[in-house]
């Protein structure tokens, strides 16, 4: 992305912090022109960088970026480290901030907003708008979109090409739906949400009753409700509830290719990495994290502040918040076969040990 050129002093005025020199040249120049954020390894003199990992000190020592954000309480230590190798050429200017990674996120958001072309309000001529739909004049509806009957598209919302909104769908202020998003009837998307391409919100939950070996469909009459500031990654699916609604809380972040089943509740500010699967009617608390490819069984409760490692399988409710991991260690296949056989014998081994303790053997 091509970023607009911006003075360093402008960024400091906007976001705070102090400037210092890495090479003893005196007062840093706030008039330095920057044209984006880059890594320490690949950045040039026109770039802003950030230092967060102590293992990358050597990169800092050799970096060509013009300015680097560092923690204020680490600056003296970094100066000493750089001085240990005379002739090294680190960034000329240090920007002392409380949390460089958080500053990187905030500044990059600002820079992207400033550098991106503004959306054009209005409805594209190829879009189809059904009877009763309400589209705010400041919203943008792109080519080949379909806006269903009585749907509402809020102020400054953006529907990119081929988005489909069903009947009575609501899209809140400032939300952005990327191409080929499908939102089924009656579902609600809050304000300032980001929904990436291929997402399906409100498809039927997987509900069937068995009648003599045949599956009888249970109509799914709930909906999906996304609170404000939710982000949903590409090709993720969130099923509508069977009776009650599927609820995604404020500030939740869902990665690509996640499956959220019917009646699931996800608490505010919880984040899930790619390929997570959450089965029906599970309640996940606030500020939880779920690592990539983890599976969560249905009808469980996970308390606030719980962290589940990637590829783990949660089979029962978690009673106390903490960090949980259930990953079978990777082995060579021949060794894995031996381990698997041993695991199948654990129940018998446990019985034998109990009998030994009870002097029965």
pLDDT tens per residue across span 272-298: 999 999 999 999 999 999 999 999 999
Active site residue 42: no
Could you report the per-residue pLDDT of 27-62, keeping only the tens digit for each? 899 999 999 999 999 999 999 999 999 999 999 988
Give pLDDT tens digits for 327-340: 877 789 899 888 88
| Contact in structure between 183 and 164 (CB atoms under 8 Å) | yes
Which conformational region is residue 84 in: left (phi greater than 0), alpha (psi within -120 to 50 degrees), or beta? alpha
Q: Which parts of the chain fold into alpha helices (H)? A: 8-15, 57-62, 75-83, 100-115, 333-344, 346-357
Determine which one of 262, 269, 299, 333 is catalytic: 262
The model's pTM: 0.91
- Average pLDDT (149-168) is 98
């Amino acid at each position: 992305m091509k970023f607009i050129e911006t003075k360093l002093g402008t960024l400091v005025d906007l976001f705070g912090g102090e400037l210092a020199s890495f090479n003893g040249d005196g007062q840093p120049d706030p008039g330095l022109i920057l044209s984006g954020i880059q890594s320490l390894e690949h950045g040039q003199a026109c770039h802003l960088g950030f230092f967060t990992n102590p293992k990358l000190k050597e990169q800092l020592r050799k970096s060509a970026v013009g300015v680097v954000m560092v923690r204020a309480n680490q600056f003296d230590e970094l100066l000493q480290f750089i001085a240990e190798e005379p002739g090294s050429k680190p960034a000329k200017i240090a920007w002392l901030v409380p949390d460089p990674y958080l500053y990187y996120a905030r500044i990059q958001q600002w820079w992207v907003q400033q550098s991106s072309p503004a959306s054009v309000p209005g409805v594209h001529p190829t879009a189809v708008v059904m009877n009763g739909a309400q589209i705010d004049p400041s919203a943008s509806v792109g080519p080949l979109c379909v806006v269903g009957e009585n749907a509402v598209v809020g102020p400054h919302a953006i529907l990119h090409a081929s988005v489909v909104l069903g009947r009575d769908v609501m899209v809140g202020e400032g939300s952005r739906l990327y191409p080929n998003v499908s939102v089924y009837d009656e579902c609600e998307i809050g304000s300032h949400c980001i929904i990436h391409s291929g997402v399906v919100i409100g498809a039927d939950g997987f509900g069937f009753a068995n009648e003599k070996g045949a599956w009888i469909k249970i109509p799914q009459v709930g909906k999906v409700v996304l609170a404000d500031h939710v982000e949903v990654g590409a090709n993720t699916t969130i099923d509508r509830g069977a009776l009650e609604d599927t609820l995604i809380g404020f500030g939740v972040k869902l990665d690509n290719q996640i499956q959220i089943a019917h009646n699931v509740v996800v608490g505010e500010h919880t984040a899930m990495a790619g390929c997570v699967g959450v089965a029906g009617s599970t309640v996940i608390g606030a500020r939880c994290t779920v690592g990539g490819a983890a599976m969560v069984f249905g009808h469980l409760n996970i308390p606030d502040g719980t962290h589940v490692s990637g590829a783990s399988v949660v089979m029962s409710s978690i009673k106390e918040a903490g960090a949980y991991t259930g990953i079978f260690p990777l082995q060579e296949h021949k060794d894995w076969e031996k381990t698997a056989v041993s695991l199948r014998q654990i129940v018998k081994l446990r019985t034998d040990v109990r009998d030994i303790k009870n002097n029965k053997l």
